[in-house]
Structure 1
Amino acid sequence: MRKIILSFIIASFSLPCFSIVTRHDIPQEKYLAKNVPEYLVDMPGEGHGVLIKPNWIVTVAHLIFSDYTGKEMLIHGQKFKIEKVILHNDAKKPDSALFKGDAKPLMDFMKTTSDIALIKLAENVSHVKPIPLYVNRDELGREITAFGRGSTGNGKNGSIFETKRQKVLRTMSNRIEVAEGNWLSITLDHDNKALALEGIDGSGDSGGPLIISDDGKQYLAGLFSWDYVEGDLKSFKHGLYGGKSYQIRISSYANWINQKIKSN
């Protein structure tokens, strides 16, 4: 499901760098992340996880491509061995037949999944700090900051799939337009609703953190998960203005996360 819509239906192009799909009227250099957030972890292959406890990482389930037990992760320059991976019981993969024709059956299926997983490390990470979970249910309308190393482009021309290979870390802002059940959703706006660094996730940004700030403190509110598509899947172009994406709603899974950490 790796940024699942994009992996199946976007052709590869060769083009310039950058990650995060941006506004067309703002220089892309302004989206460059000046520093890598302490809690941001790059997953093996592509995508991200987030350090939420000294030895626990939360990510999206569709980035778990194989048995990672015993393998190592590089976290801000140091290697840590993976002790255990815990997938949510409702983390389901769509049948390949859903990637043909009208997008609605696939979209309906995606809303029934729980695209979340936990990774336990064999030892504590002590050189960087975890980020606390956002547990309040008031995300609707809140402004978020997000990070990712995936594909880029702009809202006028869309995302360029091939640029995900550059793995340039960028940041963006947006507002939560949907907060229901297990999901948050954002839209790439271009009118007076657009923020100064308005953006949306690209292919390869899966698991990237959505951050809410309260009283100067940062909290993990969501994880990039999947793109919303209307109409025929073959004609879908990711990253255009008006496009939407869905994110794991951390407040919906806070109890599950805490229970799994406590029992393991």
Structure 2
Amino acid sequence: MKNIVLLAFLGMSLPSWSIVQRHDVANERYLAQSAPDYLIDMPGEGHGSLIKPNWIVTVAHLIFSDYTGRKITVAGKQFTIEQVIIHPSAHKPNQALLKGDAQPLMDFMKSTSDIALIKLTENVTHVKPIALYATSDEAGKTITAFGRGSTGNGIDGSVFETKREKVLRTMENIVDVAQGNWLSIRLDNTDKGLSLEGIDGSGDSGGPLIITKHNRQYLAGMFSWDYVEGDLQSFKHGLYGGKSYQVRISAYLDWINQQIFSHSDVLINLSSE
């Protein structure tokens, strides 16, 4: 599966492969005991998060078609999608960027805004939305993340076929870089990695990156795309040292707030406090 990673924004899942884990930790330790109430499984694959009673945030490249009127499940109950709002800078790469040296594609990806909002026709009342992380101090902080993508380990890389199992896994990592619209994490080896060190993969796009502060969970990011160096055709995802980029929620608070205000006739405070 050499360049599936390149196909996000083209109607397929570009970025993420799977939650790839340490080779020396039992797979069972990465299995999530239960799904967080705010975690949404998007139509097809990937995830979103409930951030207000009738609002979901997800990555734009998971919006494959017009979802207006479609059903979506939130913590076991179905709701109807009223509207989808895609960020105006959520652009697709052209075909010329999908071959040869990876650097032009990587530069393009950094220039986009992979975020979208979904408005539901009615409020979700049986579960609590997750708060948004509002400060720009993410670098160096530990994140916990979730996803139903494929799996693998840092020595052998991601095994694409395992994504069909749609098993919910969790992982930890440390935010390596927080700059502009993006957070970045790296799959460190056993000497530097956390006890549940992991990185995202196919089917994990939109999965939440959670920072815990004062015993409260905040949505700090969403799985988005993998970073590639060298030739795109020879890229192997999920090896130790590999890194990926995630949508940085704190960079989009104003946009989120503006969209909810303009479509709700009420200004909703989305800060972390």
Q: Which category of TM-score, normalised to the shorter sequence, fits these structures?
A: over 0.9
Output aligned runs, 1:248-263, within 5 Å. 248-263=247-262
Aligned to 1:171: 170
Instruction: Quote the offset at 1:163 in angstroms.
Output: 1.1
> Structure 2: which amino acid aligns with 1:32?
L
> Structure 1: which amino acid aligns with 2:121?
A
Contact 1:33-1:171 at 8 Å conserved across structures: yes
Output aligned runs, 1:38-49, within 5 Å. 38-49=37-48
Instruction: Quote the offset at 1:92 in angstroms.
Output: 0.3
> Structure 1: which amino acid aligns with 2:107?
D
Aligned to 2:121: 122
Distance 2:5 2:27 in 1: 22
Count of paired positions: 252
Q: Secondary structure at the match of 1:6?
A: helix
Q: Secondary structure at the match of 2:173?
A: strand
Distance 1:210 1:221 in 2: 6
Distance 2:86 2:7 in 1: 23
Contact 2:37-2:74 at 8 Å conserved across structures: no
Contact 1:5-1:227 at 8 Å conserved across structures: no
Aligned to 1:134: 133
Structure 1 runs of 4+ aligned residues shifted over 6 Å read none
Distance 1:114 1:238 in 2: 22
Which blocks of at least 5 consecutive residues in structure 1 are unaligned? 10-18
> Structure 2: which amino acid aligns with 1:120?
K
State the TM-score, normalized to the length of structure 2. Answer: 0.90
CA deviation vs aligned residue, 1:104-153 (integer Å, no higher than 9, x gap): 00000000000000000000111111000001000000000000001110
Contact 1:5-1:226 at 8 Å conserved across structures: no
Q: Secondary structure at the match of 2:48?
A: strand
State the TM-score, normalized to the length of structure 1. Answer: 0.93
CA deviation vs aligned residue, 1:145-173 (integer Å, no higher than 9, x gap): 00000111000000011111110000000
Output aligned runs, 1:147-166, within 5 Å. 147-166=146-165
Pair 1:98 & 2:84 matched = no
Instruction: Quote the offset at 1:5 in angstroms.
Output: 5.2
Percent of matched pairs sharing the same residue: 71
Q: Secondary structure at the match of 2:131?
A: coil
Which blocks of at least 5 consecutive residues in structure 2 are unaligned? 9-17, 264-273
CA deviation vs aligned residue, 1:4-34 (integer Å, no higher than 9, x gap): 952649xxxxxxxxx5100000001000001
